[in-house]
Amino acid sequence: MTHSHPSQRHTTTSHAAVLALAAPSLPVPSAAPTAPSPPPAMGVLTSTELNFLVFRYLQESGFIHAAFTLGYEAGIHKGGIDGNAVPPGALITIVQKGLQYIELEANNDENDDEVERDFALLEPLEIITKDVEELQQIVKKRKLERSQTEHEKDKGKEKERNEEHERRPVGERERERHDKEKEQVREKDRSEKDKDHDKEKEKEKERERQHAERIDKVKHEDDSLAGGGPTPMDVSTTAQEISNTDVTVLEGHSSEVFACAWSPTGSLLASGSGDSTARIWTIPDGPCGSNMQSSPPGVHVLKHFKGRTNEKSKDVTTLDWNGEGTLLATGSYDGQARIWSRDGDLKQTLFKHKGPIFSLKWNKKGDFLLSGSVDKTAIVWDTKTWECKQQFEFHSAPTLDVDWRNNNSFATCSTDNMIYVCKIGEQRPVKTFSGHQNEVNAIKWDPTGSFLASCSDDWTAKIWSMKQDKCLFDFKEHTKEIYTIRWSPTGPGTNNPNQQLLLARSST
């Protein structure tokens, strides 16, 4: 996978209600009347549409400067194409389907209905450099060669069997028949033994499971003694429908909304979008929905551009409030982090990264800000001077997420499948976690900093401990990529210490 767009990696929910952020719908222009004519068999891909597909491919592949140059020279933003309607990887999908179509066309024979059974594969370079008639000749040649080879093999095997059979005396043939019968008996006996062995293995697994449960029970009892006796929390598995009258839609952004974050103090919600802005919404007290329609929420627009809006290099990809709720940090595709007041005033711009910033986190004390970037590095910023305290260059691919363990140490994850635990002042990772087989999209420490949860494109989520190298738990229930994880605000180190600690994870 090319590195995930932030819209796939960030989700935010409200404790009180659900708030949906959406771009205003655009009117569809009416077509001018024309004389009736039969519809064409296929639409024509215009140069504007093709340029947009290439532009999106460059963006998704991390070629930011190339995408910017193409967008400027081709006038991408003047083409009137709704980027929200174009799915990720569109160009690759279209090219791949085109190659498959030509390959199928080359294999298609009007006199042969067995295309699927008698299919000859073609190399992409052959499809690109030759026309259909040349490809059909290549396919026919390969089918003929394959058919002749298989026919010769079958004839040779049959001839060898017949000659061998004729050379053997009658007694040897009889022994062969007898040996076959004995082998059938042995095979049946082996099958019975395998069944018994499988049953024994199942019993052994059951014994191991019971043993693990006993150990877990002992650990749970120890944790209960140490943590004040946590009790399981009630979890409702029944979906609760939210009425439309209880939903408030915050309109104003003109492109995708990538990130949302509630202020820890007050009713402020921050949102970051592909329209080159972040917004701070003031949500009135009380229930959401119908009560808010008469008095819309106040909003501060945080502009990340000087010229026109919707500059892709200014996409606001991540944001985070400090612990006091007085400052908001935003990261964007231009590699800059910006610090804003709760009133929307720009306080500081941080220059150091050489690629888009995908993650920003304040530590609890508020004296350091941590950023992770596509440039493969993480940076700790001193919030008193706003200078780079230390830059960590451990990953070999883009850094997708960062998270503080405490006020001085943190973890980073990357598309290189690795997780590093780092500490301010140290020049090497204090811990390395390896085990994911694909890009690690998100990481999160539990409230005590004892356990680190991670999720990946390998369809798994894992829990790690600083006390060992291998993961404690490996969750494999998902059948698609997992993009986000969250610990519950329960258990030791929270305001709900007597409730069980839970981990939630979300996939596509």
Helices (H), 228-330: 290-293
Residue 380 · residue 365 · CB < 8 Å = no
**102: helix, strand or coil:** helix
Q: Which helix (H) or strand (E) holds 347?
A: strand 346-351
Q: Positive or negative CA dihedral for 195, 200, 202, 205?
A: negative
Residue 264 · residue 323 · CB < 8 Å = yes
Measure the CA–CA gap between 32 and 40, rounded to whole angstroms. Answer: 18
Q: Is the pLDDT of residue 165 over 70?
A: no
Residue 406 · residue 417 · CB < 8 Å = no
Beta bridge partners of 388: 381
Q: Is the pLDDT of residue 475 over 90?
A: yes
Beta bridge partners of 338: 330, 349
Specify the pLDDT at position 133: 81
Task: Give the tokens for residue 217.
Answer: 């029970």
Lowest mean pLDDT among 7-11, 159-163, 441-445: 7-11
DSSP strands (E only) in 200-247: none
Task: Give the tokens for residue 475.
Answer: 């969750």
Looking at residue 442, the DSSP 8-state letter turns out to be E
Lowest mean pLDDT among 44-48, 315-319, 344-348, 471-475: 44-48
Contacts of 320 (CB under 8 A, 6+ apart): 261, 328, 329, 360, 361, 362
Q: Is the pLDDT of residue 154 over 50?
A: yes
Lowest mean pLDDT among 21-35, 268-282, 339-353, 427-441: 21-35
Measure the CA–CA gap between 22 and 273, rounded to whole angstroms. Answer: 10
Domain coordinates in residue numbering, the chain: 178-225, 254-507
Average pLDDT over every residue of 369-384: 96
Measure the CA–CA gap between 100 and 105, rounded to whole angstroms. Answer: 8
Average pLDDT over every residue of 312-338: 92
Distance of CA 222 to the CA centre of its chain: 37
Pick the residue with more confidence: 115 or 416? 416
Residue 362 · residue 402 · CB < 8 Å = no
Specify the pLDDT at position 73: 87
Measure the CA–CA gap between 392 and 388, rounded to whole angstroms. Answer: 11
Pick the residue with more confidence: 42 or 264? 264
Specify the pLDDT at position 158: 64
Measure the CA–CA gap between 188 and 183, rounded to whole angstroms. Answer: 9
Per-residue pLDDT tens digits for 170-195? 455 555 555 555 565 556 556 666 66
Specify the pLDDT at position 219: 45
pTM metric for this prediction: 0.55
Measure the CA–CA gap between 488 and 303, rounded to whole angstroms. Answer: 34
Q: Is the pLDDT of residue 282 over 60?
A: yes
For the segment(s) 254-507, the CATH number from 2.130.10.10, 1.10.10.1100, 3.40.50.9100, 3.90.330.10 is 2.130.10.10
